[in-house]
Amino acid sequence: MVRPEPRPGSDESELRLWLDEVDRSMVFRPASALGMSCGTVTIDPERGRLLVIWNDRLKLFQLPKGRRNINETMFSAALRETYEETGVQVKPVQLDVATRATPPRAHHSDTSMKPPNITEGHLSHEFVGACLYPDPQSETEALKVVYFFAATARCTDAGDIGTQEEWEKLNARWIPLSEIWTTLRFKAEIQVVIKTVEDMRKSGYRISV
């Protein structure tokens, strides 16, 4: 069991036990053993449809995503990869996402107290969630982390062509949100979509399902 953070005035032995617990649970991985990818959950709220890709090489439907470039922000990578894989120019949306990012200073002016662990009540472009798994396509052992951001687009708008890399065999599709359970291959990606829909509704979006 993880010990609670010691309060000011805790005796030295209690503090030492807490730090020992932190030390035992902390792990290190070099950058080469961590794969960072970014993508979007792109929804057409009016029509209740989700943008997905058919991966012809793996024979499955999945959310658009891809590796972040060096010096590229996760947010920019998510939008770029979605466009490259689908040809769709998506519009990022600001949502009230429960996040562990620090709240804006203007909303946390009392510097005598630590900010809360979880920040809510602020519209932002924070990622809605992430999927973690051992990368099966890596030549060396690596943990892959895929960060997903919320976006919108109109499913009736035609996408651009010729945006993919030559080796990619992907086809963009719009599916009804009601069919994510029978269409998307990975359960974790279904959870990301459900979370995004919840956050969009909490933030004032009306979504037809």
Question: Is there a domain that residue 107 lies in?
Answer: yes
Question: Is there a domain that residue 21 lies in?
Answer: no
Question: Is there a domain that residue 68 lies in?
Answer: yes
Question: Is there a domain that residue 80 lies in?
Answer: yes
- The radius of gyration of the chain's CA atoms, rounded to the nearest angstrom, is 20
Q: 40 is written with which tokens?
A: 């979007």
Residue 98 pLDDT more than 80?
A: yes
CA distance 123 to 132: 25
Question: Is there a domain that residue 172 lies in?
Answer: yes
Question: Is there a domain that residue 5 lies in?
Answer: no
Reported confidence tier of residue 4, pLDDT bands at 50, 70, 90? low
Reported confidence tier of residue 168, pLDDT bands at 50, 70, 90? confident
Helix, strand, coil distribution of the chain in percent, nearest 5: 25, 25, 45
pLDDT tens column, 41-62: 999 999 999 999 999 999 999 9
Question: Is there a domain that residue 12 lies in?
Answer: no
Residue 5 pLDDT more than 70?
A: no
Distances (CA, A) of 78 to 1, 9, 123, 142, 160: 36, 45, 18, 20, 17
Q: 120 is written with which tokens?
A: 């809510």
* Cα atoms in the 13 Å half-sphere on the side-chain side of 155: 17
Q: Give pLDDT, residue 113.
A: 75
pLDDT averaged over every residue in the chain: 91
CA distance 26 to 31: 16
Distances (CA, A) of 77 to 36, 37, 40, 70, 82: 10, 8, 10, 10, 8
Of 26-35, 113-122, 127-136, the one with minimum mean pLDDT is 113-122
Q: Using the Cα atoms of residue 166, residue 187, residue 195 and residue 176 in order, give the sign of their dihedral.
A: positive
Read out DSSP for 128-156?
A: -EEEEEE-TT-SS--EEEEEEEEEE--TT
CATH code at position 161: 3.90.79.10
Residue 109 pLDDT more than 70?
A: no
Question: Is there a domain that residue 164 lies in?
Answer: yes
Q: Are strands 65-67 and 60-62 parallel, antiparallel or unpaired?
A: unpaired
**Total domains in the fold of the chain:** 1
Provide the residue range defining the domain that includes 140: 36-202
Residue 208 pLDDT more than 70?
A: yes
